[in-house]
Structure formats: C-alpha cells, structure tokens
Amino acid sequence: MPILEALNEFKKMRVVPFDVPGHKRGKGNKELTDFLGERCMSVDVNSMKPLDNLCHPISVIKEAEELAADAFGARYAFFMVNGTTSAVQSMVLAACKEGDKIILPRNVHRSVINALILCGAIPVYVNPEINHQLGISLGMTLSGVAQAIRSNPDAKAVLINNPTYYGICSNIKAITELAHQHGMLVLADEAHGTHLYFGEDLPLSGMAAGVNMASVSMHKSGGSLTQSSFLLVGEGVNPGHVRQIINLTQTTSGSYLLLSSLDISRKNLAVNGKAIFTKVNQMAQYARDEINQIGDYYAYSRELINGDTIYDFDVTKLSVNTLDLGLAGIEVYNILRDEYDIQVEFGDIGNILAYISVGDCQRNLERLVSALAEIRRRYKKQDKSGMLQFEYINPEVVVAPREAFYADKEALELKRATGRICSEFVMCYPPGIPILAPGERITEEILESIAYVKEKGCSVTGPEDMDIEYLNVLKGV
C-alpha cells in the first residue's frame, strides 16, 4: 500500500507546515479535528515530494496505480478523487470530440450525458427494452447495437452499463467484439461493478471482456471512501492522453484521505475479495429468499436471464419490486427510512434497491426483512389503480445535448411545456438516470411521470427551478 506507507513515513518526519491546507494538520480547526480525529486531520495534506503528485505521479502514486492495474487486470489504472462522475466524463472525453457519434443506452447516468455537453459528441441511443412486470429498463441487445453500428458506421465508441443499477447485464463480450470489428472503442460504466473483478460466479467484468476503458466506483462495493474511484484503461488507448483529459477536470489538490482509501481498499480486495464477495452473494441470496416468502414483494435474480436483454444478472444486487403491494418503490423507501431507520439505496416507481457489500451483516438483513414484512401487513393496498408501471420512457432526441444546453431558453410551467424541447435535466436521484435530458422533446407521458414521482416523494433534481414547477425549454422551438 504505497500511499498509506508514504503517509505513515511522512507523519514520523515532524514536518513544519508552511503549505496548504490551512488547518495545519488540524491545529487550526478544533471542532473539525474533534469531529474527524487527529489521525485523520494529520494526513489531510497537500502534494509534496515524499507523497508524489496525482496530476503527474512519478513515485508512490505511480506505484499504487500499477498495483491497482494489476489487481483489476488493466493496462493502466488512474486514481479518481472527483467521483465516478469524473471517471465517466474523462472516459467519454478521451474517446470523443465535438461532432463525434457515440452509441449508448439511454438509461445511462447523467454523468454520461454531461460529458456529451462538455465535448459536443452526438448520442446514438439504443433504447433498452422494458420488463413490463418490473417496470425497469433492461440491457442493450446485441442486435440493437449491431443496427446502430450499421446506421452509424462513423461512430467512435460504444458505451455499456455493466451492470445497471438493478443488476442487469448486457452481453458485454459480444458487444465489445462487434464494436472492435468496426474500429470503435468500448467504454464500460461499471459504477456498480467493482466486485465483478474480485468475486466468483459473477458477471464478466469490463476488462475481462476486452473493453478499452472502464469507470469503477470503488467506494460503492469496494469499501473505499465516498467520491473515490478508478478509471481503468485497456488496449487501444493512449494512457498519456487519458491522463491529460483527466487533468482537465480533476482537482490539482487530490485528497490523500481519498487516495489512501483507494490504496487500502484495493489491497483488501486483491487479498480477500474472493471470500468477501462469496459472503456478499450468500447474504443477498438469503435476503431474496426471505423477502420472496413474505408475499407481494418480488426480489428478482438470475431467473430473469434470457440471453439477450438480460444476458446476465449481478446477484449481489438486492433489487425488490413492490408493485403487487400497491405501493411505489419510493413509498416503501420512505417508510423504511422514516419509520424503521433503515436506509436503502433508492426507491423508484416500482422497485427498491438494498445495496449489499463488504460492510454488511446478517443481523441487519434480518432487520430489513422483518421491516418489509411489517410494511406489507400495515400498508398493503388492494386498489392498485393510478400506479405508473415504468421508470423509463423512450426519448425523442431533437437537438444535440450540448446545443440544447447552451441555447437561448425560456422557463415554462410544466403544464405548458408539452411539445417543447427541454434544455436541462430532470431525474430522480438516486439513481440519476434522466427522465428528460437536454435536447429531448417534452411529452404528456413524460410530464405525467414527473408529476407522479413528485407526488410519491422522489427526490427530483436537475432543473434550474428547485421546486420543479417550471422547465427551461429552447426559445422559439
């Protein structure tokens, strides 16, 4: 753990700090030091010779990157401290420039579309199919990607979610091989796939499938601190160019708390990952079995696999459908949090997701199962009329995201916005998949969906109007 070891050596040196940060190892901010602890504050330091420099690593960070690349089976690994959002954006910006086309599913995280706004690339969407029972979008089909490639042979890259928030996986190996045959790069958003690199009996990881770049949220299932991630680089990409792209947006003051957490967590997974994720799989399966015995809930898993839209399923994901209960997923989410002090990852129109990883235990899962059983007894509705079924609506893209985002715009009340072209995002967060993105036409169906998720208590984000009463639309269009 080169970064951790360098920090421990640095602490022994008793260096007098006439540099930043200004709290001077915690001495200048007692309340913060009391809250975080002296050990934490003493290593919240700036780049210096013995600690290397994240923007241009030549010693301990370089060594840590090499160890991470080896652990993940990549050629190169970059430490990311601006979150996986920054890793995704760097990946897209390294592959595409203004006017380039990129093939991707529409159910991507907003960070992907943000990257298109930054670089001016043009999205070619492969609209995912819908599972009508669960109300969720699925993976990209190989035939859908093939059709997009035939129609857009000049596209520069294909982006794949591996897996989706719900655990759905596309046929990443076949899609990668197809894209490479046509000279296109393949980018994997693996924000929810760290464990695929270390566990057994799990879907194929991006690097194992041969993708060119993958963004991995180490903090989600790998145990590092929030906001810390890796950008992995495989064959066919110039790593020097990738680092230059990263340095366009990533801070020049990389947090050594985040860097060391990546270093420590990488070592833990490299040594213990197989055992850790075997246990995670067992806990998730236990919870699924117990929840499915309650009735009216459906904790789904590999039985959904069809070899196409659901090529594989990530069994660590405890995704639970709530529609048969007569409750939206967000309603169950809110009841769990407000009445049972249980915080699950998210609730949407028809599902909740309980994120199970390295830090979970059997006792807490039993508490979740018990709470869900009680919620069914107390809140089940016989009348299920008026419930929306789907969390994804196929968009009509009229204008490129960058053009729409920077265009002249006006604010309209939601009810008056039908037929206009949106110039901003509307999404529930989490998961951060846009209901509307810049450049897409606003329809009655979309407005009904926005009204529904607001009524049910989803955290709706994106618009300039924080109350989500108005939407910015393109002027005169």
pLDDT tens digits, one per residue of 355-371: 998 889 999 999 999 99
User: Does 143 have pLDDT greater than 90?
Assistant: yes
Domain termination site, one of 245, 269, 293:
269
User: Does 450 have pLDDT greater than 70?
Assistant: yes
Q: Which residues pair with 232 in a beta bridge?
A: 77, 214
Q: What is the pLDDT of residue 453?
A: 87
**55: CATH:** 3.40.640.10
Task: Looking at the structure, tell me whether residues 142 and 253 fall in a common domain.
Answer: yes
Evaluate whether residue 386 is within a structural domain. no
Range of the domain at 429: 401-474
Q: What is the pLDDT of residue 390?
A: 66
**363: CATH:** 3.90.1150.10
- Round to whole Å and give the CA distance between 63 and 6: 11
pLDDT tens digits, one per residue of 369-405: 999 999 999 999 988 777 776 666 788 999 999 999 9
pLDDT tens digits, one per residue of 268-309: 999 999 999 999 999 999 999 999 999 999 999 999 999 999
DSSP per-residue codes, 100-161: -EEEEESS--HHHHHHHHHH--EEEEEPPPEETTTTEE-PPPHHHHHHHHHH-TT--EEEEE
Evaluate whether residue 392 is within a structural domain. no
Task: Looking at the structure, tell me whether residues 297 and 265 fall in a common domain.
Answer: no
Global confidence as pTM? 0.94
Whether the bond between 431 and the residue before it is cis, its omega within 30 degrees of 0, is yes
Task: Looking at the structure, tell me whether residues 127 and 196 fall in a common domain.
Answer: yes
Evaluate whether residue 237 is within a structural domain. yes
Residues of the chain with pLDDT > 70, as a percent, come to 99
Residue at 264: amino acid letter: I
pLDDT tens digits, one per residue of 37-71: 999 999 999 999 999 999 999 999 999 999 999 99
Q: What is the pLDDT of residue 428?
A: 85
Mean pLDDT of 122-135: 89
**Residue 61 contacts residue 77 (beta carbons within 8 Å):** no
Task: Looking at the structure, tell me whether residues 140 and 254 fall in a common domain.
Answer: yes
Domain termination site, one of 242, 269, 296:
269
Helices and strands (H, E) in the chain, number of each type: 16, 20
User: Does 160 have pLDDT greater than 70?
Assistant: yes
Nearest by Cα to 128 from 110, 115, 145, 149: 145
Residue keyed to tokens 């009655």: 444
Evaluate whether residue 180 is within a structural domain. yes
> Is pLDDT larger for residue 80 or for residue 135?
80
Domain termination site, one of 228, 253, 269:
269
> How confident is the prediction for the chain on average, in pLDDT?
94
User: Does 152 have pLDDT greater than 90?
Assistant: yes
Q: What is the pLDDT of residue 196?
A: 97
Banded model confidence at residue 95, pLDDT cuts 50, 70, 90: very high
